[in-house]
Every structure is written in C-alpha cells, then in structure tokens.
C-alpha cells in the first residue's frame, strides 16, 4: 500500500491559486493518484485522477513528476466554497484515505 503524506492544513484567500502536495514515495507501477474533496457531514467527492504528467479538468489540475513520488493538486482562483478537506489516494483498489489537508479559504 502506498502511504500518502499531505500537509494537515492550509489557508488561502479568495481568488488565489492553491497547490496541495501529496507525497507517496512507495507508489507502485500500477497505482493511480486520485484526489477527493469533502465538506462536513457529506461523502467525499471525486475531483481528479491521474497516472503521470499533467491532467486538467474543469475544476482542477493534477501535476505528477516523472518519478511519481509526489503529486500536486492545483485549484485555480479559489472561492469560499472551496473550504473543505482534500484527500490524496494512491492505489488500485483498496481505497484507504490518509489524513487529508484541511483547506480554509478566507475572504
């Protein structure tokens, strides 16, 4: 199982770009990297998934260096509603969550 390490918390301001990094030093060849967002008292929601290089969708970008030992979730121009916990998951089927990063966006 690839263990993940993320910052416990981050603060930002509205309109800024936020980058959350996840370390996964023992990622396996077949492992994908998936990020989820969770608001209080709700189930986590899928944000983005990638295997290598860069993936972009309508809400975020995911940057993965060549060695794949880390990944960075980039949220462009955050708003107050982006305040949530963000989880990085690495694996191919066990779907265990690490501690996550609590992002607080301030006005």
**14 or 59: CB nearest another protein:** 59
Determine the number of helices (DSSP H) and then strands (DSSP E) in the chain: 0, 9
Minimum distance of another protein from residue 62's CB (angstroms)? 13
Chain residues in the site for another protein (CB under 8 A): 30, 32, 34, 36, 41-46, 49, 51, 85, 87, 91-100
**13 or 97: CB nearest another protein:** 97
In degrees, to the nearest 5, what angle opens at C-alpha 30 toward C-alphas 51 and 101? 55
**Cα distance from N-terminal residue to C-terminal residue, the chain:** 39
């Amino acid at each position: 199982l690839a263990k993940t390490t993320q910052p416990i918390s981050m603060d930002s301001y509205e309109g800024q770009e936020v980058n959350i990094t996840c370390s996964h030093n023992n990622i396996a060849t077949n492992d994908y990297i998936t990020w989820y967002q969770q608001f209080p008292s709700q189930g986590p929601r899928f944000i983005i998934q990638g295997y290598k290089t860069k993936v972009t969708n309508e809400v975020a970008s995911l940057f993965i260096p060549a060695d794949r030992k880390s990944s960075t979730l980039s949220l462009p121009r955050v708003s107050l509603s982006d305040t949530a916990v963000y989880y990085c998951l690495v694996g191919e089927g066990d779907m265990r969550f690490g501690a996550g990063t609590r992002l607080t966006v301030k006005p």
